[in-house]
Amino acid sequence: MHYSGKQMKKFSASCIAGGLSAVAWRFLMLGGLLSTALLSTALLSTALLSTALLSTAPLAADVVAGTSWLDPEVGLPRALQQRQPILVLLESPADVDPALHLDQMIKTPSMARLLEKVVLVRVVWKSDADGGWDWPAEPNPDDAEPADAQHRWSRQRVQQLLSTSLGTPSATTVVGVLDQFGRQRAKHEGKKLSASALKKVLRNASRESIVLSRKWDAATKLLDRATLVLGKDDTASCCRLLSQVAELALPAASPPAQRRLELLGIVEKRWREAMAKAKQLEQKKRLGEAASALEKVLRDYPHAPWEKQTRTEIGRVWRRIQGPGGGL
């Protein structure tokens, strides 16, 4: 039951003038219970709001804490395995400001969220006896996590990739962004890097990684089919599938490109064997059979570089057939 303000005043006046009646007592008790309920609700809402605010603060801290620098021997293969871009810091003790600035920048919640799908790699140069700069001592492989130990790269491979992409050790600190295959996408030397510029580069690199990942998956499916048809001695279909993989234009260092080269090497061996058999027929002066064998090779191995050589051999054999002393 709800009471208006006018009714409340009436009951209050009645209580003061003539004592409290039973109805008045019930009214006051009901009003007190209602006030208590409203107060409890307000306190509960305040408590829930406080809990929500407190729960969100550690979340941001966890995101920031999730950003950690890795040695290149671990970070570079991890980026390739996870198909993620790489933020690289090549730090010189003679030029510490850019590194300190970057460390502070990546701790901001917005940057930390952006870095969730980026691998962070850091190298701190050491001074050498000649006053120059060199690579630090190689980290102990036993200190790596078990999941990383299997895919760990050698120091020589790491040096070659980073030297090609970002340069050799120097007195200037370098901040770079690479794609998952180690190709340079941005390079910043010496000066402090702005947050907006870094975010833009990382977003572009992340989008590119998505595209490369889709190409990777498409190439893998084509290579699986190529392997299957090669097992059935269908070299023509295998060559066409391998050509489709090449059209995806994945970097030569990518696993699909490496796998394509392996399959192509197997097919090339068979092509050379078929060409050698045709040559033997020609040497035995069985020119008609040699020409037929070469035409079959042309059909069975439709790979542009091989086709050119096969057509050249076919033309030469036919000229012998049509020339003096020739014949099938």
Residue 105 shares a structural domain with residue 157: yes
175 in a domain, yes or no? yes
Residue 233 shares a structural domain with residue 189: no
pLDDT-based confidence at 253, cuts 50/70/90? confident
Q: In this predicted structure, what is the pLDDT of residue 16?
A: 43
- Output the CA torsion sign for 193, 196, 199, 203: negative
DSSP letters along 120-175, please?
EEEEE-EE-TTSSEEPPPPPPGGGS-HHHHTTPPPHHHHHHHHHHHH-S--SS-EE
* Partners of 189 in the β-ladder: 174
How many domains does one find in the chain? 3
**Gap between the Cα atoms of 313 and 282, Å rounded:** 10
Residue 275 shares a structural domain with residue 226: yes
> pLDDT of 277-306, one tens digit each?
999 999 999 999 999 999 999 999 999 999
CATH code of 158's domain: 3.40.30
Chain centroid, CA 305 distance in Å: 33
The answer to whether residues 86 and 76 touch, using CB atoms and an 8 Å cutoff, is yes
pLDDT-based confidence at 180, cuts 50/70/90? very high
Q: Which two tokens stand for residue 228?
A: 């299957």
Is 70 exceeded by the pLDDT of residue 310? yes
Helices marked H in the chain: 5-18, 22-65, 72-82, 97-105, 109-114, 146-149, 155-166, 195-231, 235-247, 255-283, 287-300, 304-322
Residue 232 shares a structural domain with residue 316: yes
Question: Which residue range(s) make up the domain with 229?
Answer: 212-322
pLDDT-based confidence at 145, cuts 50/70/90? low
The answer to whether residues 278 and 311 touch, using CB atoms and an 8 Å cutoff, is no
20 in a domain, yes or no? yes
Residue 181 shares a structural domain with residue 260: no
267 in a domain, yes or no? yes
Of the candidates 171, 210, 166, 169, the residue with the CA atom closest to the CA atom of residue 186? 166
Is 90 exceeded by the pLDDT of residue 131? no
**Gap between the Cα atoms of 102 and 104, Å rounded:** 5
Residue 81 shares a structural domain with residue 151: yes
Q: Which two tokens stand for residue 174?
A: 């370098």
Is 60 exceeded by the pLDDT of residue 154? yes
46 in a domain, yes or no? yes
> pLDDT of 53-86, one tens digit each?
444 433 333 334 446 899 999 999 999 999 999 9
199 in a domain, yes or no? no
Q: Which two tokens stand for residue 29?
A: 């008790």
Left (φ > 0), alpha (ψ -120 to 50) or beta: where does 88 sit? beta
Residue 131 shares a structural domain with residue 234: no
**Gap between the Cα atoms of 19 and 61, Å rounded:** 62
Out of 47-51, 64-68, 148-152, 239-243, pick the least confident. 47-51
**Gap between the Cα atoms of 115 and 191, Å rounded:** 21
Is 70 exceeded by the pLDDT of residue 326? no
Is 80 exceeded by the pLDDT of residue 14? no
The answer to whether residues 150 and 74 touch, using CB atoms and an 8 Å cutoff, is no
Looking at the chain, the whole-number percentage of residues with pLDDT higher than 90 is 69
The answer to whether residues 3 and 27 touch, using CB atoms and an 8 Å cutoff, is yes
Return the SS3 of 71. Answer: coil
Q: In this predicted structure, what is the pLDDT of residue 148?
A: 59
Residue 169 shares a structural domain with residue 240: no
Is 80 exceeded by the pLDDT of residue 87? yes
Residue 116 shares a structural domain with residue 156: yes
313 in a domain, yes or no? yes
Average pLDDT value for residue range 204-220: 96
Residue 134 shares a structural domain with residue 158: yes
**Gap between the Cα atoms of 147 and 306, Å rounded:** 43
Residue 43 shares a structural domain with residue 79: no
> pLDDT of 261-280, one tens digit each?
999 999 999 999 999 999 99
**Gap between the Cα atoms of 164 and 157, Å rounded:** 11
Q: Which two tokens stand for residue 61?
A: 């801290």
204 in a domain, yes or no? no
Domain boundary among 58, 84, 99: 58
227 in a domain, yes or no? yes
Q: Which two tokens stand for residue 42?
A: 């307000």
Residue 278 shares a structural domain with residue 175: no
